[in-house]
Amino acid sequence: MLEPVPDEPVAVADCGPERALVVADYHAGLEVGLRRDGVEIRSREAERREKLLGLLEDTGADRLVLLGDVGDGIGEPTGTERAEIEALFGAVSQRVPVTVTKGNHDGGIETVTDMFAGVEVADGPGVRVGDVGFCHGHTWPDEAVLRAPTLCTAHEHPLVRLEDEVGGSRTERTWLRGRVDAEGFPEYEAVGDRMVVCPAFNDLSGGTVVNEAPDFLSPFLPDGLADADAYLLDGTRLGDYRHV
């Protein structure tokens, strides 16, 4: 079972003996890349870390699950990005154990995680904890992960575009929640029941505008997700994401 935290891009998963705070697409060091592209922006490193630590305390979670793309670079993290990741794991690992499901931006994440006791890394196909399967979503999940009653994934950074009565528009981060469609996983013998696609924790990371006939990034979306509704961070149900 996965319950979003109201007004936040995170959720709490009931994994049996543990309750896990689930955080997707942290993208440490993102501002470095933006500045390289000519965008003048200050680092929000401290705010991100303090926000996450506050959510751990507020939810009373027993574990932190980072659903991939902890960093923003593709290979081994270096420089400012590495320093931010080290500070994050240094602070969190003193409070709770951490599970990282590797994303496409986490190629060398073990060079940092190996420095900290209590931090474990699962490869791209993900990991199952109790009744919840976790994977980043950039590759096909392990069969045991997909068979979990709830599959929790990320990678897409789902957004919806909302328009007002005078033609203005804005994008908002959103959750996608729906039934797993076995037809989207033709090579698997069995699938679970529900899938949740999590919004990005980092609000600077952009994403897929799901109500604009997008090209999804994940190999199992949209075919593997049937009857999916979009939900804003405040819990507002928008209905079928394709027709918001």
The count of domains in the chain is 1
For residue 6, CA distances in Å to 41, 158, 243 come to 28, 17, 23
Helices 45-59 and 79-92 sit at what angle, rounded to 10 degrees?
A: 20
Q: Which two tokens stand for residue 8?
A: 């936040």
By residue range, what is the domain housing residue 138? 2-243
Torsion sign across C-alpha atoms 101, 115, 89, 61:
positive
What's the CA gap between 76 and 106, in Å, rounded? 7
Q: Which two tokens stand for residue 20?
A: 């896990």
Per-residue pLDDT tens, the chain, 244 aa: give them: 799 999 999 999 999 889 999 999 999 988 877 777 677 777 888 999 999 999 999 999 999 999 999 988 777 888 898 999 999 999 999 999 999 999 999 889 999 999 999 999 999 999 999 999 999 999 999 999 999 999 999 999 999 999 877 778 899 999 999 999 999 999 999 999 999 999 999 998 889 999 997 889 999 999 999 889 999 999 999 999 998 8
Residue 48: which CATH number?
A: 3.60.21
Residue with tokens 């290979």, as numbered in its chain: 75
Helix/strand/coil for 42: coil
CB 197 within 8 A of CB 178: no
State the DSSP code for 28.
B
